[in-house]
Amino acid sequence: MTEIPKEHPRYESLMMREKIVEGFNLGITSQQGLIAQGRGESFDYLISEHTTECAACAERAAVAFLLLAERPVISVNGNTAALVPEKIVALADVTGAKLEVNLFHRSEVRMHKIILHLKAHGAGEVLGKNADARLPLEHDRGKVDKEGIYNADVVVVPLEDGDRCETLVKMGKVVIAIDLNPMSRTSLASHVTIVDNVTRAIPNMLQFAKDMKQNTTEDLRKVVDCYDNNKILSSAIYEIHERLMNMAVERGIEWI
């Protein structure tokens, strides 16, 4: 890993790159995952690389859905495994969710390496290898475990593709997406859209889960019932718009 000085103004962002590159070198992250990270970076820039108020609200609601769920599952791909292995394992632990590796660019070698990587970071059982059930999808993301995603009632999908997200919604599952692009198909199709970097979203969700774990079912239900994803998406887009306007003014661009 390249040494990045802590005082570098882009420290967090550069460290994320290092982790993704390390993930790639370990055979966890796909080549395409490197490109996806770049796409995420540009959207992260537009939200000032911080957790916005609406993202925090979505993260809290997501945790309430997870704690109320009967069969919650957190889906893990190559990017998530490289960026937040420890925290995603801890989140599954606190919420009682199962972990399932599900890859767009699936290979048995990568599946195996990601499962080992999660286990090295404290995971118990990690699903995904059996692939004994099939979602109605042409590509490999349709290969799932019967005891995991296939029968789940609530699924968390970080860095998802639109097809599978829409399929999971059609199957009647509550889908929680983590996606920095508030206008992606995934973001629009999900029940809860967290417009935040997975590196902030998962630790925030873990903290919410620890804080809310003792809440009554009634209290959790209140959080879920008053959640409005359309409001969250429109706030996310509004925040991007405002940030761009403010930046332009700060940088001396005159509006004509």
| 3-state secondary structure string across the chain | CCCCCCCCCCHHHHHHHHHHHHHHHCCCCCHHHHHHHHHHHHHHHHCCCCCCHHHHHHHHHHHHHHHHCCCEEEEECHHHHHHCHHHHHHHHHHHCCEEEECCCCCCHHHHHHHHHHHHHCCCCCEECCCCCEECCCCCHHHEECCCCHHHCCEEEEECCCHHHHHHHHHCCCEEEEECCCCCCHHHHHCCEEECCCHHHHHHHHHHHHHHHCCCCHHHHHHHHHCCCHHHHHHHHHHHHHHHHHHHHHHCCCCCC
List the x/- string, 4-43, binding to ligand PTJ by CB under 6 A.
Answer: --------------------------x-xx--xx-xx--x
**Residue 76 beta carbon to ligand PTJ: minimum distance, rounded to whole angstroms:** 9
182 near ligand PTJ, rule: CB under 6 A: no
**Residue 164 beta carbon to ligand PTJ: minimum distance, rounded to whole angstroms:** 9
**Residue 224 beta carbon to ligand PTJ: minimum distance, rounded to whole angstroms:** 23
From the list 51, 77, 190, 193, which residue makes contact with ligand PTJ (rule: CB under 6 A)? 77
57 near ligand PTJ, rule: CB under 6 A: no
From the list 63, 64, 94, 180, which residue makes contact with ligand PTJ (rule: CB under 6 A)? 180
37 vs 51, beta carbon nearer ligand PTJ: 37
Interface contacts to ligand PTJ, rule CB under 6 A: 30, 32-33, 36-37, 39-40, 43, 77-79, 103-105, 159, 161, 178-181, 184, 197-198
